[in-house]
Amino acid sequence: MKILSWFLVILGIFGLIAVRALEDKIFYDPFLNYFHEANKNLAFPSFEWGKLILNYLFRFILNLIFSCLIIHFWFKNKGWTIQGAVLITIIFAITFPIYLYCIYDQFEIGYLFSFYMRRFVIQPLILLLIIPMFYYRKQVVEKGKERI
């Protein structure tokens, strides 16, 4: 069973890598090249609001599924998996409207601010905080069991 769990964790990691590696092929994101060039003087790309929002939501759902797969099979705790999904969703619910406003404002609010808001929207950065948090929690729980 342990081998299957680690296999599924690795599958989740490769899923996140695939989402990132294939982003230009499977998602509509006209800002990909805009931020890749790192040139503030580039013309603001034209885009379709509906298509853009749906693709960001699709990407979020894929990242959420792979992140939950990693959390669930790493810690084997359904409650923590749900808590991780809720935390990831809360961060997305906060950053996504801010990023959409940045787009609406054509990044006048600040190029770097918009760049980093985009990072929180398209990449599962919060997973890098959740895993150490749950690992620490697991250590605390195990120490508590030893004392009893």
Instruction: Tell me the average pLDDT across 34-50.
Output: 86
Q: Is the pTM of this model over 0.85?
A: yes
Question: Dihedrals φ, ψ of 106, to 5°?
Answer: 55, 40
pLDDT at 42: 81
- Residues, the chain, total? 148
Of residues 99 and 36, the one with the higher pLDDT is: 99
Assign 141 a pLDDT band (cuts: 50, 70, 90).
Answer: confident
Rounded-to-integer distance, Cα 4 and Cα 2, Å = 5
